[in-house]
Amino acid sequence: MLNKYARAFFTRVLTPFAAFLIRRGVSPDTVTLIGTAGVVAGALVFYPMGEFFWGTVVITLFVFSDLVDGNMARQLGRSSRWGAFLDSTLDRVADGAVFAGFALWYAGGGDDLVLCAVSIFCLASGQVVSYTKARGESIGLPVAVNGLIERAERLVISLVAAGLAGLHAFGVPGIQYLLPIALWIVAVGSLITLIQRVVTVRRESAEAEAAERGTGAGEAGVRESGARETAEDQQTRGSETAK
């Protein structure tokens, strides 16, 4: 849901920066790789230590590379299958690193195995949610549903909550509970989104198979009708010959 509005807004904001990088000779693939490396480093270095504020600051600085690289590719007229594949693949890596960082914190200094499990579920469900859409489209289905929580929602909810929770280290009381609440929201929302997409693929698959059966039956009927007409023509010619 956020993708529809936030992406358009930030694309306009980041267009001058993308143009600046192009003038400097930076390629879109380089931006994608650097952005992913920055997100992974921020998540796996700061989050396991409980440094949620600074970790979120670092991640936020690099997460916008996902918009910058695409903007650069469009300005250069170089949009390609390889670029789309690389971008999508590294998005999954970055997402996994964020929730892995949470899981490592709760498995260690955070000392909460339940929230560790919730973080792992968020990691896994996020990957599967993306896979269901990609797999459905690969078999020719439109998968005409976005779902309750997509990638943008997962990241915004998690990163905002983590950044605010990090303010507890600066003396803000009670705010550390925002992150556990956010993780539960993402976990439940991801599960609902997964169910929505699976149900949609099941429905679209049944509709496609029914349409194929209908088309096959129609073609069979045409062939049968043609065969009858051919047989009747042959009989007619035979009768005329006999006369």
Q: Which of 69, 87, 91, 95 is catalytic?
A: 91
Rounded Cα distance between 182 and 177, Å, is 9
- pTM for this one? 0.82
> Closest by alpha carbon to 2, among 170, 130, 155, 106?
155
The pLDDT of residue 241 is: 47
- DSSP codes of every residue in 121-151: HHHHHHHHHHHHHHHHHHTT-------S--H
- Runs of H (alpha helix) within the chain: 2-23, 28-41, 52-63, 65-76, 81-107, 113-138, 151-165, 178-242
Positions of the chain with pLDDT under 50: 241-243
Rounded Cα distance between 184 and 154, Å, is 11
Long-range contacts of 227-232 (CB under 8 A, 24+ apart): none
Rounded Cα distance between 229 and 238, Å, is 14
Rounded Cα distance between 113 and 118, Å, is 9
Indicate if 87 belongs to the active site: no
The pLDDT of residue 217 is: 61
**pLDDT of 69-120, one tens digit each?**
888 988 888 878 898 899 999 999 999 999 999 999 999 999 999 999 999 9
The pLDDT of residue 242 is: 45
